[in-house]
Structure 1
C-alpha cells in the first residue's frame, strides 16, 4: 500500500482563510521529506488540518508575506542540503504565480500551492542557493529558462551569476558541470557558441548566453556586467566576442538615444548620410521598440571609453607603439591571433562607418585601425539590407578612416531616426592622429591641410594646433620630400615670435628664406612613366605647388605659446641631416650637450674626468628618451661623423642606465627606457663603413685610432664608474680601419647583450619602486643582421659583388656543393668563427642565412627556429612588392616603410654614373645658401650650391 503524507499548507499562517494542498507520494524524488513537516502550520482558526477550499483573492500585503515565507522555506531546505526539495517549492511558487504565462511547460513540481503569490522572491532565493552551493551552470540554466518565461531577474542576481560563471576554470569540476536535461534552447545556443568560439571556457559561454537572454527578454543590464564579460573574453583570447559585445552595446545606446529624441521633438530632416549617419529603417525601429530600447525605465549601460580601451590594449599588431615606447615586452602575435584581431577591428571600424561612437577620445582606436596589416587577408561577410556583403578588412578599414577624416562634425548632432549620428566633435589628440594617418598612409597634403583648417574655422569651439601637430607636419613633410612645406612652417613659427628658448634656438639655426621654394618632383629623374596606381596619383600631387597649404596666420598667438619637446628636436635634426646641413646638426648638438665637444682620444684622457663631465649630461639625456639618440646617431652616420656618433652613443648608454635609477636627481623624472635596436644598427653601420674603406692610420704618437674608436676602451664602463677602465685599453702601434671596425663591431654586439643583463638587473632591484612594465630588450631585426653580414662577410680589397644575380645560378651552385659534401669530395673553406655565431643567432630569431653564405657552413648543422617573423606593415599607398623582387643573394629582404619607395635612379644613359656620383657627394656637403628662383632676365642660368 502506498503511503501518502498529507502536508499542511505552506502559507497557513499568512491567510485567515483555510486552504489545503494536494497529497504528495513519499516516493517522489522531488518531494519535501516528512522530517521538514514542522515548517508547515495547521489551519488558522481551529488548529485542524487544512481542508480543500477555494482560495480567496488575497490583499496586496499578503503577496509579500507569502513570498517571504516561501523564500524562507526554500532557504531552510538549502541550508539542510535538500536541493531537490527547494527546487520543488520554487516551481510550485512559479505555478501559483498568476503572472506566469500558461505556456510554461518545463516547470515540474510535486507540490501544489492553492493560493496566489509573487514568485520573484522565491526565484531569486533559489538562484542564489545554486550559487552558494557552487553550481553556477545550474543557476544559469534555471535563470535562462525563467527569463524566457517572462520573469524579471534583479540586476544584482545577474551580476552575481555572470561573475560566478566567468570565474569557472577551463575544466570545471564535477559539481560545476553543466546539466541540461533534454534538448532546450539554452543547450542549442551553448553548442553554437562552442562551435564558433572554441576559445571560450564553458563558464564564459554560459555567461554570454545569459546576457543575450537578458537583452532579449528586456531585463536590466549595467556597466559592470559588460565590463566583466568583456574582460573574461579578452583573457581567454576571444577578442572578436569582446568587440561584438561592445558593438552590440553601442548599437543599443544609439537606438535608445535616437528614438527618445524622436519622441520629444519633431524628427529632423534627412541630412548627409556620411556626416549624420544612415537613416534608421522601419525594421530597425520596430526591433528596437520590441526590445524596449526607447523605454528609459529599462536600465541599459552607456558605452564608455574604458570598455574600448580594454579591448584595444589587447591589439598588438606589428609596429604598434604604446606611450611612445616600443612594445618589446609583448610577444609577437601569431597568424591566428592577427586573424582574430583583424576581425575585431572590422567590427570596431563599422562603428566609425555608421557613426555610432559617442566618444571624444578616439585617437587610440584610429591608431590601431591604421596599423592593421595587409597580410593575412581576412574577409568578413555581413547581411546589409537583406543582402550578403563581403569586405576585405584591410581595404575596408582604410576607406573608413579616410572618409571619417574628411567628414568630421562641427557641432553636437541632434539625434533622430533620420540623423542618428553619435559622433561628437573630436579633441586635439584625435585630430593629430588623423593628421598623421593622412600624411603617412595617404600622402595627401591637401587632405591634411583641410583637416588642419577644420580644427579652427568650421567648428563652433575652435581648437588650435599644439606642438604635436607641428611635430607631425615637420616629420611627415620631410619624409615626403616636401621641403617647401617645412620651410613655410618654420617661417610661420619664426614670425609668431615663440617664447620657448629651445624653439628659438632651433629657428635661429635654420636659414631664412625670402620666398617659398618649389617642391621637388620625386619622379623627375626616372625614365619610365608614373604607375597606373593610387601611388602614382599621390606622387603626382606631391610634385605640384600649392601656396595655400598649411596657412596658419590666424593662430599666431597660439604659436607663440608653443614649447619644443624632444620629438621636435628629433624631427628638426632629421630634417637638417636629410637636406645635407650636417654642420648645423653638429652646432645644435653641441648647444644641447656641451660635454660632447671634447673628443676623448689619446693619453690625455682618463675615465674619471669623462665620468664627471657626463654625469650631468646623463640626467639631461634621460629626459630625451631613446628616440632622440636613435635619430641623432642615424643622422651622424649619414653625415660621416663616426667619432661624434661614438660620443653620442656612449651618452645614450649612460642616459639609459640613469633612467632606471630610482633617484629623481639622476633620472630627471623620466620613465625607464632602453635604447632601440635601430640605435645599435646605426652604430654598426658607422663601423661597417670604416671597415670597408680599407685604409690604414699610422698613429705613431697615439695609442688609439684617431677620430674614432672611443668605444673599444669604454665598453665595460657604466654610470657607477669603473676605475680600472684604463687597464682595458687596447694598445697598438698601428690600427687598420678594416680590423678596428670589425673588432669594435664585435664589442658592440657583446655590449648589447651585457646591457640587456644590466638593465634587467636594475629593473629587478627597483621593481618595488617602479610602476612600469618589463623593459624592452633590443631584439635584432633584418636590418641589424644585414649590417653584420655586410661587415663580417667581406675582406679588404675584395671586388664588389653582384647582389641581384640570378636565383637559379646561386641555387645550382649550392646544390652542387651539397652533392660534393654528400660524396665526401668537398673541402670546407676557412670561415670566420664570428660569422658562424651570427648564423646561429639568426637561426634563433627565425632568419635563414642568405644563400651566398651557406656554402661556407655546410659542415655545420644550424637548425632554424620555428619563429614566425611578423614585420611592420607598409603605408597604404605604397605599391605591393612582388615576392621575387625582394630576393637578395647576400642579405635579407627588407621592405621600405618610411619616406617614399622611390630610389635615386638616374636612368641608364651615358652620364648616369656621373649623376649618381655627384648626388652621392652632395649628400655630405652643407649648402652655404639656399637656391633662389632664377630671374627670366638673367636667362636660363641656374645658381648652384657653394
Structure 2
C-alpha cells in the first residue's frame, strides 16, 4: 500500500497528497524524481485483495481508482464482481485454513545440528530447509539428489538423517491431509450441497500425501552393506563401520515404528540380518525422547522378530509387502533361526491373511528346496512341491522341462544379442496362475536346489537322471541311426555333438556341475563323473572364464579318486551259504565236514575300468592295465598340485600388485578346510607305516582259512 500511495502522489505537490476520495492509508515518505504511473501497482494490489477474498478493501480501492481517473481493466472489474457476488466462506475454506495453520506449525526438517564436510552440501541443506518451510514444490526430488551426494561422499549417517527427516515430514503431511479429508467427508454427511470440485481445492492439499518414489534409500542400504562386509585393520575404518551401523539403525527404527512407506523392504531386511556379529553399540531413541546405547546385532534381530510377528496387512502408513519382501523373510526364518514355525507364519500371512493374497513364485520354491535340504526337513521341501500343486515326481518333471526350455531358448538366441533370461512363455505371475502349468518357470537355482535335495535324501540316481536330461550327450551309447555310418562320419558327428554339448553346458553355470558331480560320486559312477568334469572344464573355457568351477568341485573329485584308490581286490567272505555242487565253486582242498561252506567272492575289480583313460593316453600304449589304487592316488595328486599352483599364482599376483580389488569376479578356486581334509584322507592312507587293527584282523582271518 505504501508503494501504491507513493506512485499516486509522485506528480502531486506535497500539500495536495490527500485529495477527496483517497484511501486513507500510510503515505510513503519516498519521493520519485519523475512521475510514475500508478496503473500497474493499483491492479497488482487489487488482485491481491481479490485472491484473499477481502471484498471490502478491494471495493474501496476500485472505487478510488475510478474516481481518480485510473483506468480499471475490464477483467479486473469482472473478477471483483465475481468475488463480491459469491457467498461467504465455505466450511471447506475454513477447514483448509485450519489445515494451513497446522501445516505451518511444525518444522519438517529439524537438521540444525547436521553438518557436512562439504560446504556446498551444507549450503544445499540450508536452502532446502528454507524451501520446505515455505512449502515449495519438487523439494523431495532435490533432497534425493542431496542424499545421493552424501552417499557418494561417504557421509552415510547424514544421508540417513535426511532420509528419515523426509519420511517423518511426509508422515505429518499425510496425517494433516487425512484430517482435512475426514472433515470434508463429515461435511458431506451434514450438508446436502455438493463438495467443491477438484479445481477449487488448493494444490497443496493434493500434494499433501505425496512422496517421491525416487528416494535413493536402496543405494544407501547397498553402501552400508558394502562397508559392513569389508574388513580393514585400521582405526579410521572402524569409525566408518560405526557410522554405517548407526545409519542402519536410523532406517531400522523407521521400520520398527511402522513409518517405512515402501512396499519393497527386501533390501533393508537383508541388510539387517546380514549385519556381522559384532559387539558394537549404537544409539537409539526411547519412547520418552531420551537416548540409550544397545548392541547393534541383537537390536536388529529383535526388530526383525517384531516385524515378523506384526506383518502389515492393510493399515497405513506401511503398505502391504510385496513378494520379494515375503521371500526375504522366509529365507531369514529358515536360515538364521532354523524355525519352521516362523516360516509357516510368513507363508500363511502371504497366501491367506494379506488382501489380496500372493501366490508363491519361483524364488519361494528355491528357498523351500534349498533350506529344507540344509535343515534335513522333508516337510519343508514338500511345502515347496505343494507350491506347484502336484506330487513330487510330477513336480520334478515339470521343473526340469521348464529349465530345459529356458536353456534351449538361451542357446538359440545367444548369437542374436538376446539378453533376457526368460523366454516369452506368457504371463506366469502368481496372480494369474493358481494351478500348475505343464511347464514350470524354473531357473538354474531351482535345478541345483532340486539335484542337491535328491542327492541328500538318498536318491542320487534321480539327480543323475536330471543331469542326463540336460546333457544327453554324456551317454556312452551312440544313436541307433549311426550304426550304418563309417567310422570317419561317426567321429565327425561326435565332434559336432560335443561342441553343441559344450555350448549348452556353458549356460548351466558352475553350481549345476557341482551338484551333478556330488550326485555322481555318491551314486558310485566315477567314470561318468570324470566325463562331466572334463565337460565342465571345456564349458568354463568356452564361457570366456565368465564363471570358474569353485573349490567344492575340486574337493568332490579328490574324494571320488580317493575312494577309488582305497578300493583293493581282496577276497571277502559272505555269510555261510549251502554247498551247491552244481555250481562248481566248491574247493576240494578244503575238508569241511559240515554241509555249509564259505563262498569267497571278489569285493571289487583290481584294475581300472571306465575311467582314468587320460593316464593311458599320456603314457602311451600300456601293456599292463592300471591298478585302481595307483590311478586314484595319481589323479588325486594331480588335483592337489593344480589347485596348489593356483594358490601360488594368486600369491605372486598379490606380491606384485598391492592394490588388487577386494572381490575378484569370478573368484579363483582356493583350497579350504574340506579340500585339505579330502587330500589328507587320500595321502595319509598311502603313508601309513602301521596297519590298522581292522586290517590286521582281516589278514589273520585270511591266513586262518587258507
TM range (shorter): 0.5 to 0.7
Q: Separation in 1 of the partners of 2:442 and 2:459?
A: 21
Q: Where in structure 2 are the equivalents of 1:543-562 lying within 5 Å?
A: 557-558=435-436, 562=440
Say whether 1:674 aligns with 2:596.
no
Describe the shift of the 1:799–1:253 C-alpha distance in structure 2 as closer, same or farther (beyond 3 A): farther
TM-superposed CA distance for 1:422, in Å, is: 1.6
Say whether 1:689 aligns with 2:562.
yes
Q: Separation in 1 of the partners of 2:439 and 2:631?
A: 53
SS of the aligned residue for 2:292 comes to strand
Describe the shift of the 1:781–1:749 C-alpha distance in structure 2 as closer, same or farther (beyond 3 A): closer
Q: Where in structure 2 are the equivalents of 1:387-466 lying within 5 Å?
A: 387-411=290-314, 413=315, 421-466=316-361
SS of the aligned residue for 1:426 comes to coil
- Identify which of 164, 168, 179 aligns with 1:251: 168
Find the counterpart in structure 2 of residue 316 from structure 1: 225
Describe the shift of the 1:18–1:370 C-alpha distance in structure 2 as closer, same or farther (beyond 3 A): farther
Q: Separation in 1 of the partners of 2:242 and 2:684?
A: 42
Q: Is the 8 A contact 1:576 1:584 kept in 2?
A: yes
TM-superposed CA distance for 1:446, in Å, is: 2.0
TM-superposed CA distance for 1:742, in Å, is: 1.2
Larger-gyration structure (1/2) = 2
Find the counterpart in structure 1 of residue 504 from structure 2: 620
Say whether 1:193 aligns with 2:88.
no
Q: Separation in 2 of the partners of 1:611 and 1:561?
A: 32
Question: How much is the aligned-residue C-alpha RMSD, in angstroms?
Answer: 5.3
Once the two structures are superposed, what CA deviation does each residue of 1:254-293 show, in whole Å capped at 9, x if it has no partner?
A: 121122102221799xxxxxxxxxxxxxxxxxxxxxxxxx
Find the counterpart in structure 1 of residue 141 from structure 2: 224
Q: Where in structure 2 are the equivalents of 1:330-341 lying within 5 Å?
A: 335-341=238-244
Q: Separation in 2 of the partners of 1:428 and 1:486?
A: 19
Once the two structures are superposed, what CA deviation does each residue of 1:440-484 show, in whole Å capped at 9, x if it has no partner?
A: 112221222222222232233222222322221122122112124
Describe the shift of the 1:319–1:633 C-alpha distance in structure 2 as closer, same or farther (beyond 3 A): farther
Structure 2: gaps of 5 or more residues: 13-30, 47-109, 186-202, 231-235, 404-429, 479-486, 571-606, 652-662, 695-706
Say whether 1:572 aligns with 2:562.
no
Describe the shift of the 1:317–1:622 C-alpha distance in structure 2 as closer, same or farther (beyond 3 A): same
Describe the shift of the 1:485–1:302 C-alpha distance in structure 2 as closer, same or farther (beyond 3 A): closer
- Identify which of 373, 378, 399 aligns with 2:281: 378
Q: TM-score, normalised by structure 1?
A: 0.45
Structure 1: gaps of 5 or more residues: 1-10, 20-40, 47-54, 65-184, 195-199, 269-293, 321-326, 328-332, 414-420, 508-551, 661-671, 698-703, 714-725, 757-772, 801-912, 915-946
SS of the aligned residue for 2:115 comes to helix
Once the two structures are superposed, what CA deviation does each residue of 1:122-147 show, in whole Å capped at 9, x if it has no partner?
A: xxxxxxxxxxxxxxxxxxxxxxxxxx
TM-superposed CA distance for 1:305, in Å, is: 5.6
Find the counterpart in structure 2 of residue 804 from structure 1: none
Comparing 491-500 with 650-659, greater Cα deviation is found at 491-500
SS of the aligned residue for 2:291 comes to strand
Q: TM-score, normalised by structure 2?
A: 0.58
SS of the aligned residue for 1:380 comes to strand
Q: Separation in 2 of the partners of 1:561 and 1:428?
A: 21
Q: Is the 8 A contact 1:239 1:340 kept in 2?
A: yes
Which protein is richer in helix relative to its size?
Answer: 2
Find the counterpart in structure 2 of residue 59 from structure 1: 41
Describe the shift of the 1:45–1:464 C-alpha distance in structure 2 as closer, same or farther (beyond 3 A): closer
TM-superposed CA distance for 1:355, in Å, is: 1.3
Q: Where in structure 2 are the equivalents of 1:109-128 lying within 5 Å?
A: none
Q: Is the 8 A contact 1:305 1:359 kept in 2?
A: no
Q: Separation in 1 of the partners of 2:7 and 2:503?
A: 80
TM-superposed CA distance for 1:594, in Å, is: 1.4
Q: Is the 8 A contact 2:562 2:682 kept in 1?
A: no
The number of equivalent residue pairs is 499
Q: Separation in 2 of the partners of 1:398 and 1:645?
A: 43
Find the counterpart in structure 1 of residue 687 from structure 2: 797
Q: Where in structure 2 are the equivalents of 1:1-40 lying within 5 Å?
A: 17=10
Once the two structures are superposed, what CA deviation does each residue of 1:746-791 show, in whole Å capped at 9, x if it has no partner?
A: 23555799999xxxxxxxxxxxxxxxx9842326374477458748
Once the two structures are superposed, what CA deviation does each residue of 1:509-534 show, in whole Å capped at 9, x if it has no partner?
A: xxxxxxxxxxxxxxxxxxxxxxxxxx
TM-superposed CA distance for 1:380, in Å, is: 2.2
Q: Is the 8 A contact 2:551 2:672 kept in 1?
A: no
Q: Separation in 1 of the partners of 2:609 and 2:160?
A: 60
